[in-house]
Structure 1
Amino acid sequence: MSQRTKPPFRADHVGSLLRPAALKEARAKHEKGEIDAAALKAVEDREIERAIKKQEEIGLKLATDGEMRRSWWHFDFFRGLEGVDLIEAPPIKFHGVVTKSQAIKINRKVDFAGHLHIEHFKFLKAHCNVTPKMTIPAPSTFHFRQGRQMVSKEAYPDLGQFWEDVGAAWGKAIRAFYDAGCRYLQLDDTAWAMICDPNEQKHSRERGDDPDKLPAIYARLTNAALKAKPADMTVTMHSCRGNFRSTFIASGGYEFVAEQLLGNTDLDGYFLEYDSDRAGGFEPLRYFPKGKKQLVLGLVTSKSGKLESKDDIKRRIDEATKYVALDQLCLSPQCGFASTEEGNVLAEEEQWAKLRMIVELADEVWGGK
């Protein structure tokens, strides 16, 4: 057994990091008109450079920009696509809290014609001594929570054309990041995991969709996006049940989607949250294919600052090996630490302690460098 020299790595992380106080202050001043965009970018640049150095210092073989230029993990990408309008809408309800009131409406043909996030990646790559990892939302998230009701019937009387255009747009995005030098891209998803919750299935039907058919549709959509992926690029998917201010939306194991998600998608790896009973057991992992793909176990929670027991994590890894070979497993937090700019309820020092522990555990379980 050994460490991996290509992504995903034995010690990995989902992407977002807590926004430092200086960055939150700068964003608030910019919103009030007290500083201009250039001044805000200068603070973002400085704090991202610090975050990159910190990731390198604790021993990670990858670094992200912490998504520090974003307000949302997904809407900031969606608004840069052709055919998409960001609109006011009822807030997303998590357990005990609600988000800001925004949603997307697809009013025209969906397409990708360049994106500011390409420049964000170039900055990350220019300041990395390890593998730069970029994160964007998965194409399935572009549909699930808004559903048919938010896709204009004038623009798309037939959803078949919608799926085709979305897959093509994501394919163009993947190629654009590749051309910018990205070799490690992660698609962030909530659709696959949330649809396992009976309540979310009910909401899906209310939005005019058939949740029983969606896993197969999302598998085809994902594969369409990956069709032209270059062989030397790693694309993984992270799937979770919601992450906002340390709360969640859905519960339920992966059984409802496991065969399609793990067995019928052309992804190079999967990040699955397994930090609580809400994710169910490891039994759905029986669909995980033997061979080159990697499964990253999200056994360390990003929702609280309490540090897990190393022995407990090792026992959970051992349990997972009943279904997936140890050599195909990696370790990460179950989600990002700040899927939105508000961030989860823990301190920055606790965040770094968790990531450092993951690096240590990876050395102990799979061997050192």
Structure 2
Amino acid sequence: MTLETQKQAPPYRADHVGSLLRTDQIKQARLKKSTGEISGDELRVIENEEIKRIVEKQKEAGMQAVTDGEFRRAWWHFDFLENLDGVIGYDTDTGIQFHQKQTKSHTIKVTEKLDFTDHPMLRDYQFLHSIAGNHTAKMTIPSPSMLHFRGEIDRDVYPTDDAFFSDLAAAYKKAIHAFYKAGCRYLQMDDTAWAYLCSDEQRDQIRARGLDPDKLGEWYAKTINEAIADRPSDMKITMHICRGNFRSTWISSGGYEPVAEILFSGLNIDAFFLEYDTDRSGGFEPLRFVSRHDLNIVLGLITSKFGELEDRNVIKRRIEEASRFVSLNQLCLSPQCGFASTEEGNLLTEEQQWAKLRHTANIAEEVWG
């Protein structure tokens, strides 16, 4: 597959969500750093070498967009959020409950006014950008929704939601422009909150927290739109709607119908990465709310949770089904999520991971040419 025959702007016909299985070298180095056997600078040297290797593997697999695999992170969201000004991270008694499994105990809290100034992931992106070559360096960060959805808020600092969400949008606006200045033209925001709003079970749990699910969706949409309102015209911003991904387990079920209109008609982003690898995601009917011809839908029909390769004919039929609601020209293909939303990773091998990405690229070539 050549770059000339592919889509020239992100998201690409064959794309991926971003996180990759941590290599043995990364795992060992992070363990040594935690026990004091190596320094932070020594860890970074090892990370750099492993990121160079997996960037080349992504290119070999046929990906036009390359990421650093989130190799410098323990979590897909906390590492970014706790480095915002005004946010701290700390360990707790319990982790996030998935079906049959629970994550490590950690959370975040807003203790001062929010801002974005000197964030360490700017340096992380700059390194990725420097080795991407002719490919597009893709940066992944959690959506602003996640600070509210997963974090605690000191109400002495933010007594009202209006003030909190206003400062949150302003901080993210600064982040977007900082990444742009660093060279980023492809930014993805990852968000599990919208998938929770698709689930009757999770909506009940949200109500049990004293929150109104519908009001929450309105707040999140408004904040996201404010954050991206004046992004540069040559910067593509996408969103991955995640249903939970820890050690190949999941959290939420339910089709996109409850949030389809506000997502596809109300959010001013360039593309959605949607999880469609199991029947827990429902059908393609909610895509009827896609009214913009410049909005791309990346169909997550390839699972990142297990190593077996999907029947390519089944995948092509499902793409055809989706094209009844959205033009084929607006569709793309990817795994439904990353391969390692946390450093523990999903239950498949590295070779199976690369095979999944090659499978994605090969099917995309057959569908779009």
**1:212 aligns to what SS in structure 2?**
helix
Report the CA distance between 1:96 and its aligned residue.
Answer: 0.9
Corresponding residue of 1:110: 114
**1:297 aligns to what SS in structure 2?**
strand
Corresponding residue of 1:125: 129
TM-score normalised by length of structure 2: 0.97
**2:246 aligns to what SS in structure 1?**
coil
| CA deviation profile, 1:77-110 (whole Å, cap 9, x unmatched) | 0111011111222210011111111111112111
Distance 1:355 1:276 in 2: 18
Q: Specify the code of the residue in structure 1 equivalent to 2:128.
A: L
Q: Is residue 215–residue 261 contact of structure 1 (8 Å, CA) maintained in 2?
A: no
Query: Equivalent residues in 2 for 1:280-299 (5 A)?
Result: 280-299=282-301
Q: Is residue 180–residue 235 contact of structure 2 (8 Å, CA) maintained in 1?
A: yes
**2:213 aligns to what SS in structure 1?**
coil
Corresponding residue of 1:275: 277
Q: Is residue 114–residue 176 contact of structure 1 (8 Å, CA) maintained in 2?
A: no
Q: Is residue 12–residue 332 contact of structure 2 (8 Å, CA) maintained in 1?
A: yes
Corresponding residue of 1:15: 18
| CA deviation profile, 1:164-222 (whole Å, cap 9, x unmatched) | 01111111100000000000000011011112112211221222211121222211111
Corresponding residue of 1:145: 150
Q: Any stretches of 5+ residues in structure 1 without a counterpart?
A: none
Q: Any stretches of 5+ residues in structure 2 without a counterpart?
A: none
Q: Could you say what the CA RMSD is over the residues aligned between the two structures, in angstroms?
A: 1.0
Distance 2:6 2:24 in 1: 35
Q: Specify the code of the residue in structure 1 equivalent to 2:183.
A: G
TM-score normalised by length of structure 1: 0.97
**1:213 aligns to what SS in structure 2?**
helix
> Are 2:29 and 1:59 equivalent residues in the alignment?
no
Find the partner of 1:303 among 294, 302, 305.
305
Detail structure 1 runs of 4+ shifted over 4 Å in the superposition.
none
**2:355 aligns to what SS in structure 1?**
helix
**2:321 aligns to what SS in structure 1?**
helix
Corresponding residue of 1:44: 47
Q: Is residue 107–residue 150 contact of structure 2 (8 Å, CA) maintained in 1?
A: no
> Are 2:91 and 1:91 equivalent residues in the alignment?
no
**2:87 aligns to what SS in structure 1?**
strand
Corresponding residue of 1:349: 351
Corresponding residue of 2:232: 230
Corresponding residue of 1:136: 141
Distance 1:229 1:236 in 2: 12
> Are 2:28 and 1:25 equivalent residues in the alignment?
yes
Distance 2:207 2:89 in 1: 23
Distance 2:292 2:334 in 1: 21
Q: Specify the code of the residue in structure 1 equivalent to 2:158.
A: Y
